[in-house]
Amino acid sequence: MRIYTRKGDDGSTGLFHGGRVNKDDTGPEAYGAVDEAVSALGAVRASTSDPLAAAILAVQRDLFVVAAELATGAEQRSKLIAGVSLTTAAMVASLEARIDDVVAGAALPTEFVVPGGSAVASGLDVARTTVRRAERRALSHMRAVGIEDSQVVPYLNRLADYLYALARSEEAAWDSSKE
């Protein structure tokens, strides 16, 4: 099996559940940014250990659900499966619970943070900013195709908050290990 198909040489890409769009359309822009976030998180996961690595892997798997939804044409949304290819309110609520757990263990700063407190925290900050870009692209896509009932944007919004909390928690752990 070859990895190349040549189908995209004309500047188009295939959608989940069929159809083709231009590679620079709002959907591929959005799920491409989600893919970047998955990769950024993979770099962080490779440089840390459990329980953080397991938490990151869970988020990466959730992001595949988000990307599947974004890669589906509006006319095919009825084929999406909750939690598999359709982002759910339960996924958003799960992130909120995880944020609360992290914040309960480490107070958040009250002023602007300059990333770089530790390698892992910096990686989480890079992933966070990538997720924010994905959030903006997803919002543009949802508006462009007229989808109003999706949980993609709330999920990405909470995910950026979660990554911020994780980064600050990692910095606090790193700072205390130097004492």
> pTM to 2 decimals?
0.90
Is 80 a residue whose pLDDT tops 80?
yes
- Share of residues in the chain with pLDDT > 90 (%): 72
- In terms of pLDDT, which residue wins out, 175 or 84? 84
Mean pLDDT computed over every residue of the chain: 91
Which residues make beta-bridge pairs with 13? 21
14-18, 31-35, 45-49, 142-146, range with the lowest pLDDT: 14-18
10-101+119-172 CATH pick, 1.20.1200.10, 2.170.190.11, 3.40.80.10, 3.40.50.300: 1.20.1200.10
Residue 26 to residue 139: CA distance in whole angstroms: 9
Band (104; pLDDT cuts 50, 70, 90): very high
Which residues make beta-bridge pairs with 59? none
